[in-house]
Amino acid sequence: MSIKFAILGFLSRAPATGYELKKQFADDPVLYWSGNNNQIYRALLELHRDGLVTQDVELHEDSPPRKVYSINPAGRDALRDWVRSTPELPQLRHGFLVQLTWGDVLTADELDALLAEYAEEVRVEQLMLREWDERNAARNHRTGPGAWLNARIRERWQAFYAQEEAWVQSLRDELKTAAAGGEYPASKEENDGRG
Amino acid sequence: MSIKFAILGFLSRAPATGYELKKQFADDPVLYWSGNNNQIYRALLELHRDGLVTQDVELHEDSPPRKVYSINPAGRDALRDWVRSTPELPQLRHGFLVQLTWGDVLTADELDALLAEYAEEVRVEQLMLREWDERNAARNHRTGPGAWLNARIRERWQAFYAQEEAWVQSLRDELKTAAAGGEYPASKEENDGRG
DNA sequence: GATGACATGTAATTCGTTACATGATTCC
DNA sequence: GGAATCATGTAACGAATTACATGTCATC
């Protein structure tokens, strides 16, 4: 999936400059692109070259020209085609699960410390997410299908982290219970056979 | 996170060639790297250069030399340090949620068709995942903390897709109910003001 | 006077993928 | 004879990130 369509999507709601688009990408967690200059400005050039957007240049004497991009009918068609196109499965790059794959080289205490650290990160992320959603719900009072869809999308995102938090918690609980029963001893001794 | 640590992790269980490692990456969904030659062979060279693995070359007359890599004590230390290192939050690149952000340009019927298509993809992915897990559980009968962790990791992965499926289903149900009540009319007419 | 927002762009680097290239062996 | 697996590597390309580079204007 290309960032170009997301840009087209924003322009379908209102004309914007590269700088304005950059900000929209920067703070929305669902829009996973970093939204760096290079990407945005290049994408806008390409969209313009492909005839999907129009460019209005506001010239100023001292400052650089301000380039306002607007979507055109061809752009709307391209946007519609993309939205209807076959969806791709989400890509979950879960580095922590990779890390945990070799968690058996740690002692039970070390493992619990690691899980605790991760749980805290997830908790904080959830708080930031909720804050962002509230801020945005306040300033963005769209109605109709757009607003409904947006709410469901945010819910999905939050549910992911909620599930993550519950999972880590259950891991820690199990680990604690097992350690009390002596079932999962500190594995460092077991696995210290080097070579 | 670097693929180098995952390679180090595999080598901590058994020595392996680049080709063997490549296969391990290829079919494990949690190990999100594509596991292409370029990445693996380069990583192995670097690990060797950094003194974390040793290389045993088996020379053959006609075929290319077979290079078997083994982890060494420095490598085990590096692996342990990495496993204990501060976890990063998962990166969820959910293209479909991006797509849905502009789902309001579709009619209710088109939107439902899109959701149905996605639901099917998620369903199939779940089946493949379960199949993979069963195949692997059968062939890989490790015990102790490693096996326990592995089972929890697979559960987490499956839970993600289960949650995804439930979410799509709830979306479709809501959409259906709303459409019956005329609350979410075909939005194409509403939004067709071009420019 | 400094910071930060506004505004545009380029350069360097890293990362990852696909495809290229070679050649033996094994199974159907 | 052809396909698949084993086994190593390189080249070309594309995507994405960070940092560089410049300059205005408003606010503290």
One-letter amino acid of A12: S
E strand intervals along chain A: 53-58, 66-71, 91-93
Give residues with Cβ within 8 angstroms of A167, minimum separation 6: B152, B155, B156, B159
Residues in chain A: 195
Q: What is the pLDDT of residue A29?
A: 92
> Over pLDDT 70: what percentage of chain A?
92
- Contacting B residues, span 93-112, partner chain A, CB-CB under 8 Å: 93-106, 108, 110-111
Q: Distance (Å, rounded) from C-alpha B116 to C-alpha A174?
A: 37
* C chain positions with any atom within 7 Å of a protein CB: 6-12, 15-25
Tens-digit pLDDT profile for residues A170-183 = 999 999 988 787 77
Q: Distance (Å, rounded) from C-alpha B11 to C-alpha A84?
A: 45
CA dihedral B27, B32, B34, B38 (to 10 degrees): -120
Q: What is the pLDDT of residue B62?
A: 66
Helix (H) or strand (E) holding B192: none
Among A6, A12, A190, select the one facing B98 at the smallest CB separation.
A6
Q: What is the pLDDT of residue B34?
A: 86
DSSP assignments along A48-59, one per residue: HHTTSEEEEEE-
Which band of pLDDT confidence, cut at 50, 70 and 90, is reported for residue A59?
confident
Give mean pLDDT, residues A12-20. 96
Q: What is the pLDDT of residue B187?
A: 46
Question: Residue A44 pLDDT more than 70?
Answer: yes
Question: Residue B190 pLDDT more than 70?
Answer: no
Q: What is the pLDDT of residue B45?
A: 94
| Average pLDDT value for chain A | 89
Question: Residue B181 pLDDT more than 90?
Answer: no
Contacts for A171-180: CB closer than 8 Å, 24+ residues apart: A171/A115, A171/B152, A172/A112, A172/A115, A172/A116, A172/A119, A174/B152, A175/A108, A175/A111, A175/A112, A175/A115, A176/A112, A178/B148, A179/A108
Q: In chain A, which residue's Cα lies nearest the Cα of B102?
A: A9
Question: Residue A131 pLDDT more than 80?
Answer: yes
Q: Which nucleotide is nearest to A19 if distance is taken from CA to C1'?
A: C7
Which of A19, A76, A80 is CA-nearest to residue A44?
A19
- Token pair, residue B120, equals 């099917």
Note whether B130 and A178 are within 8 A (CB): no
Return the exposure string of B1-35: e unless at least 16 CB atoms fall within 10 Å of the residue's CB, then b: bebbbbbbbbbbeebbbbeebbebbeebebbbbeb
Q: Which residues pair with B122 in a beta bridge?
A: none
Question: Residue B161 pLDDT more than 60?
Answer: yes
Q: What is the pLDDT of residue A133?
A: 87
Note whether A25 and A34 are within 8 A (CB): yes
Among B9, B98, B184, select the one facing A148 at the smallest CB separation.
B184
Q: Which residues pair with A58 in a beta bridge?
A: A66
Q: What is the pLDDT of residue B185?
A: 53
Nearest-CA residue to the C1' of C23? B63
Q: Which nucleotide is nearest to A60 if distance is taken from CA to C1'?
A: D24
Q: What is the pLDDT of residue A188?
A: 43
Give mean pLDDT, residues B12-19. 95
Its pTM stands at 0.91
> Over pLDDT 90: what percentage of chain B?
73
Q: Distance (Å, rounded) from C-alpha A21 to C-alpha A7?
A: 7
At A93, give phi and psi (nearest 5°): -100, 95
DSSP assignments along A39-85, one per residue: HHHHHHHHHHHTTSEEEEEE--SSSPPEEEEEE-HHHHHHHHHHHHS
Which band of pLDDT confidence, cut at 50, 70 and 90, is reported for residue B178?
confident
Q: Distance (Å, rounded) from C-alpha A55 to C-alpha A44?
A: 9
Note whether B104 and A102 are within 8 A (CB): no
For chain B, helix (H) and strand (E) counts, in that order, are: 8, 3
- Token pair, residue A81, equals 């085609």
Which band of pLDDT confidence, cut at 50, 70 and 90, is reported for residue A144?
confident
Taking an 8 Å cut-off on Cβ atoms, the answer to whether A144 and B190 are in contact is yes
Which band of pLDDT confidence, cut at 50, 70 and 90, is reported for residue B135?
confident
Question: Residue B126 pLDDT more than 80?
Answer: yes
Among A1, A92, A106, select the one facing B84 at the smallest CB separation.
A106
Give mean pLDDT, residues B182-189. 56
> Over pLDDT 70: what percentage of chain B?
90
Higher pLDDT, A186 or B141: B141
Q: Is B3 helix (H, G, I), strand (E, B) or coil?
A: helix
Q: How many angstroms separate the CA of residue A92 from the nearest CA in chain B?
A: 5
Tens-digit pLDDT profile for residues B37-92 = 999 999 999 999 999 999 999 887 666 789 999 999 999 999 999 999 999 999 99
Q: Which residues pair with A67 in a beta bridge?
A: A57
Note whether B121 and A173 are within 8 A (CB): no
Question: Residue A67 pLDDT more than 70?
Answer: yes
Q: What is the pLDDT of residue A138?
A: 72
Which band of pLDDT confidence, cut at 50, 70 and 90, is reported for residue A11?
very high
Q: What is the pLDDT of residue B107?
A: 95
Give mean pLDDT, residues A43-63. 90
Q: What is the pLDDT of residue A194?
A: 44
Q: Does A31 touch chain B (CB under 8 A)?
A: yes
Q: What is the pLDDT of residue A182?
A: 73
Give mean pLDDT, residues B107-135. 94
Question: Residue A1 pLDDT more than 70?
Answer: no
